[in-house]
Amino acid sequence: MSDVTNTTNSSQSSALIRQATTAYHSETLDNIFDNSFALIEKARKAFSPQMKSYEVGIITNIATGIAKVSGLPSAGFEEMLIFAGNVRGIVFNVDIDELGVVLLGDYAHLQAGDEVRRSGHVMDIAVGNELLGRVINPLGQVLDDGLPIQATQHLPIERTATAIMDRAAVTVPLQTGLIVIDALIPIGRGQRELILGDRQTGKTAIAIDTILNQHDKNVLCVYCAIGQRASSVAKAVATLREQGAMAYTVVVVTEGNEPAGLQYIAPYAAMSIAEYYMQQGQDVLIVFDDLTKHARAYRELSLLLRRPPGREAFPGDIFYIHSRLLERATQLNKALGGGSLTALPIIETEAQNISAYIPTNLISITDGQIYLSPSLFELGVLPAVDVGKSVSRVGGKAQLAAFRAVAGDLKLTYAQFEELETFARFGARLDQDTAKSIEHGRRIRASLRQPESSPLPVAEQIILLLALTSGLFDTIALAKMTAAKNALRAIINRLPAELSTRLATSGSLSDEDHQNIIALSKQALASIEDSNAPLLADGSEQP
């Protein structure tokens, strides 16, 4: 009897629990539905439909990379227009009856009669830390395998340059890691230094090495490839990734087969990205590779829009488009955060003609130039920097005191050696002092050689320069200069901690510091001097 009673009680309890649970869930669902419908009703009553007007025109003519548009009387210069398929364009010509528009995307589907809508604003680009490590195009669209960029801030690609009163003097060096530049043609943060030379002379390599050398130096970098081959851009990005430089670099890319409009806006978009970081108090380096293709793209657009051609068929404002771009590079004063923006524009010359139209324009805009010589490149002197034709009008003031102490007369000595070497080729008999100067100059040239993607720290550069100016390399065979340089670089770990700090900072070196470095250098070079066996004609040692 007791078992039957317990079973009955259990069944009754289970039934009561199910009834209570069902009632609870029903009440909960009713509350949810009531609350939801109440919110919907509230939103419906609060909503008031509004009409948004758009000014719409039509395409009257379309050509290679440009379109003529009518029916937009209120559109302004450089305003962005929206075409069918979400293709964007920028107003370039504002005539009485029509607009000349530069197209910024694939326009194969566009034809005369299609509608065009005003956007009401100028062209802009996404900015922010979300762009670091990414490869994008000038429209902010990603070109790598990552997710689309969700930036919260945009800046117009065309902006007024910083006012003179908001700028400060260039006082801090930008180390490139290339001893020939840091010692002889120094660059300061906030400077504009032109890199020019014939094709395939190593211009891009210098820019990439400079970006690589900014690792752990609190300098953000923007690399802008204008009209480059996809393979060249992929190689540069791969080098940056392998060396860990993409963590502080943004890459803006337009390929050579893309519309000329994209190539034209690319440097301005990249400059706006760099300016955002500068305004946050950061030191920024931007590379334009290269502005020759940018000038040609602008010439193409201008001629298609029937603008009058000038010298070499370039329009009259070709100087202005580059000057208004590079003037945005500067050193801000402390009141604005003290950020800096250093620009390294690249220009390609033809047949070593640095007095051509576009190179002349850029030389007059920038604060100096680094010229790469094809003859030096063919001789294997890399980087092929022609010291005689290269100059820095600002960076010398920002150069580290230790650099100035050990490299003050090096440029003059090297220039004199090049003159003497040219004279010696005529087979003239040389006196002992001249022959000694030539041998010393050859070791200067050997010391300035440096393999690609191998930037040198400041301390190692100063040690090499001090040994060079002190004549320690004069007893080393030219074939063993590489081994001698490697031996000197190894002594950096044997220097006192205080001396290493002074070498890496702006501190000047005392006479005692010089003596300590020279003593250690002599010890490191002693073994190489002892092994100086006679060399064969090809530079190898005799057995």
Residue 21 is assigned to a ligand binding site:
no
- Pick the catalytic residue from 229, 306, 393, 494: 393
- Contacts for 153 with CB less than 8 Å, ≥ 6 apart: 126, 127, 128, 276
SS3 content of the chain, % helix, strand, coil (to 5): 45, 20, 35
Which structure tokens are listed for 267? 């440097």
Which structure tokens are listed for 446? 């050997």
Adjacent-strand bridge partners of 136: 142, 252
Longest Cα–Cα distance in the chain = 134
Residue 128 is assigned to a ligand binding site:
no
Q: Say if CB 340 and CB 284 are below 8 A apart.
A: yes
Buried b (16+ CB within 10 A) or exposed e, 201-227: bbbbbbbbbbbbbbeeeebbbbbbbbb
Question: How far from 333 is each of 185, 217, 393, CA to CA, in Å?
Answer: 25, 20, 20
CA distance 35 to 41: 10
Residue 442 is assigned to a ligand binding site:
no
Residue 197 is assigned to a ligand binding site:
yes
Strand order in the sheet with 135-136: 135-136, 249-255, 219-228, 283-289, 340-348, 194-197, 368-372, 391-392
Q: According to DSSP H, which parts of 334-408 are helical? A: 357-365, 374-378, 395-398, 401-407
Catalytic annotation present for 117: no
Residue 203 is assigned to a ligand binding site:
yes
Q: How far apart are the first and last CA of the chain?
A: 114
Residue 199 is assigned to a ligand binding site:
yes
Q: According to DSSP H, which parts of 112-242 are helical? A: 179-184, 203-212, 230-242
Q: Can you say which residues are annotated as belonging to the binding site for ATP?
A: 197-204
Active site residues: 393
Q: Can you say which residues are annotated as belonging to the binding site?
A: 197-204
